[in-house]
Amino acid sequence: MRWTEDLQRALSARGLTVASIPGKGRGLVATRDFYPGEVIICQEPYASAPNKVSAGSSCDGCFASSNIRKCSACRIAWYCGNACQRAEWKLHQLECQVLAALSEDRKKMLTPAIRLMVRLVLRKKLQNEKVIPTSETDNYDLVNALESHISGLDEKQLVLYAQMANLVKLVLPSLEIDLKEITHNFSKLDLLSTDQLEWIEPDSHNGAGTGVFTVPGTEPQVPAAAPSVDQDRGKGVAS
């Protein structure tokens, strides 16, 4: 596949490659020696959202918790200043229209997991329309290639993911939503409670949100597709 070749070429320049590790799955493997303290890779998440604890108390862009202000239009997103708001604007401009149109009852169903998936769907749309650029390490093909855990789920989890996919469709009524694709994407994240529609955060000292990282091995806290995100935004450091 072309995206695989592009990704491998981009990683090769950094002394890395993606490989299938027996019993572990797909991950990053070093092709050269790294020195202690050397940054191995730093990647922005494909999509991210504040977690349940930090929602409304941290910036949607950098997760800083000081000097934040609520978006005056949607009344859901928060930013610490003009820089983060401008950086997020291409995505949030579309998201803002969607969120502002929701009734108060539907806004209540915007758990971190649902909002994360909404932002992922909108980012895919904007990249398809060339509004947001793609790169070897930033494109939806890499999200699509993440391991799906759908075959190992019990019926209760499958029903939950299907319900959550339908919630995403309710939030985005004007878009053609592939419910099967969204259900599979929720299974890829694999950090959801089967008892309620909310996000379970990995243990973290400074995690403020949840993000989808498309290059395996850039997760700062846990080896999962949706790790806790700190202000280093997915930086890997040699030790």
Give the pLDDT band of residue 153 (cuts 50, 70, 90): confident
Are 136 and 9 in contact by the 8 Å Cβ rule? The answer is yes
Q: Buried b / exposed e across 100-137, counting CB within 10 Å, b at 16+?
A: eebeeeeeeebbbbbbbbbbbbbbbbbbeeeebeeebb
Range of the domain at 142: 2-55+106-237
Number of domains in the chain: 1
Evaluate if residue 188 carries a pLDDT over 80. yes
Q: Is residue 28 part of a domain?
A: yes
Q: Is residue 100 part of a domain?
A: no
Q: Is residue 158 part of a domain?
A: yes
Mean pLDDT of 188-200: 45
Residue type, 78: W
Q: Which residue has the higher pLDDT, 53 or 59?
A: 59
Give dist(CA 150, CA 53) in Å, integer. 28
Give dist(CA 128, CA 110) in Å, integer. 25
Q: Is residue 66 part of a domain?
A: no
Segment 83-105, tens digit of pLDDT: 999 999 999 999 999 999 999 98
Q: Is residue 60 part of a domain?
A: no
Q: Is residue 207 part of a domain?
A: yes
Q: Which residue has the higher pLDDT, 53 or 170?
A: 170
